Amino acid sequence: MTGVTRVLSPVAGRAVGLGGVPDLVFAKAMVGPGTAVDPERGPGRAIAPVTGKIVKMHPHAFVVVDAEEHGVLVHLGVDTVQLKGAGFRVFAAAGDRVIAGQPLIGWDPAVIEAGGRSPVCAVVALDAGSDVLSDVVESGAVSKGAELFTWR
């Protein structure tokens, strides 16, 4: 174990930072520090941000814990839990071991947006202090699989 986790972007789009999430729980980092990505519109697949084990899997959100016991939450859109899975296709289950970059959920951010919800994706370091993250990307274009932050 190196004690370092490199967290990758689950989607392609534009980094907006947690402050860019129109949900105070994420915007105020109440769940943990991290960043957010306003995804490209159109059908796509959200990928695992780290290699590890899925400990929570919902159609709109998932948590992967890596070998360093760092839990990374990916939340696809805001208030998307209300959709009860509609518009999402899950490719993995809680308990599965996954590798960084593996597709976990299919979805269409444009459909989420057309339904009156924000498709912005929060990527959060659970149970972490803000001082343990470095190189946090909070603006600019990001590719799917590009590094969003490092967790030490």
The residues annotated with a catalytic role in the active site are 75
Q: Encoding tokens for residue 88? A: 């999402």
Using DSSP, state whether 67 is helix, strand or coil.
coil
Distance of alpha carbon 2 from alpha carbon 85, whole angstroms: 37
CA dihedral 70, 71, 77, 78 (to 10 degrees): -110
Using DSSP, state whether 70 is helix, strand or coil.
coil
CA angle 106, 92, 151 (to 5 degrees): 90
Distance of alpha carbon 63 from alpha carbon 47, whole angstroms: 12
